[in-house]
Amino acid sequence: MSEGAPQQIALRCSLAMRVALATCVATASCAVYNCMASWLGAWQAVPLALAAFALLALCAVRHDRARPAALKMGRESLTAWGRAGNPLVHGRIAGCAHWSDRLLVLTLTPDTGRQHTLLVPADTVPAAVFRELAVRGRRSAGA
């Protein structure tokens, strides 16, 4: 990657994050069923479990649509862009957690306002970009 002009990187959909989110939705729905079935009975718990599943699935879809569609890496900053081309998060990297080459959690600090957390799964960006983000994150976080 060059140190010159900011680069815009398109983010792909993360299969790993979608599988993890679907697993959480299914697990939570089963938990609702198991809890309610002991109180109400098996058949009365089914509509509550289905309602919980529908609500959680709707929230999961909404969360997936709100994720960034692109990153723009500047010399000292990082900007996450939405699907409509609007900037979602902009700031310098202030913290980093790097989990086994699969997930990068970056904390971005804007000039004003509160910090934002940005999740970057490894399967959303090319490997070289993921490595560069990890290096920038560790360097900025002082690790």
Using the predicted structure, report yes or no on whether residue 47 has a pLDDT greater than 90. yes
pLDDT tens readout for residues 106-138: 999 988 889 999 999 999 999 999 999 988 888
Q: Give the pLDDT of residue 100.
A: 80
- pTM for the full predicted model: 0.76
Q: Give the pLDDT of residue 25.
A: 97
> How much of the chain, in percent, has pLDDT values that exceed 70?
94
Q: Pick the more confident residue, 77 or 21.
A: 21
Mean pLDDT in the chain? 89
| Count of domains observed in the chain | 2
Do 113 and 59 belong to one domain? no
Pinpoint the alpha helices (H) of 41-100.
Answer: 42-66
Q: Pick the more confident residue, 28 or 5.
A: 28
Do 27 and 90 belong to one domain? no
Beta strand 7-10 pairing with 70-73: antiparallel
State how far the Cα of 41 lies from the Cα of 96, in Å rounded to an integer: 47
pLDDT tier at 6, thresholds 50, 70, 90: low
Using the predicted structure, report yes or no on whether residue 48 has a pLDDT greater than 70. yes
Q: Which domain holds residue 58?
A: 15-66
Residue 112, SS3?
coil
State the average pLDDT over residues 17-25.
95
Q: Pick the more confident residue, 42 or 113.
A: 42
Do 97 and 129 belong to one domain? yes
Tokens of 115: 């910090």
Do 60 and 79 belong to one domain? no
Residue 5, SS3?
coil
Q: Give the pLDDT of residue 84.
A: 87
Do 75 and 105 belong to one domain? yes
Do 76 and 102 belong to one domain? yes
State how far the Cα of 55 lies from the Cα of 68, in Å rounded to an integer: 22
Q: Is residue 2 part of a domain?
A: no
Q: Is residue 122 part of a domain?
A: yes
Do 47 and 35 belong to one domain? yes
Report the CATH number that the domain containing residue 135 is assigned in CATH: 2.30.29
Q: Give the pLDDT of residue 4.
A: 55
Torsion angle of alpha carbons 61, 108, 92, 133, nearest 10°?
-60
Pinpoint the alpha helices (H) of the chain.
Answer: 15-40, 42-66, 127-141
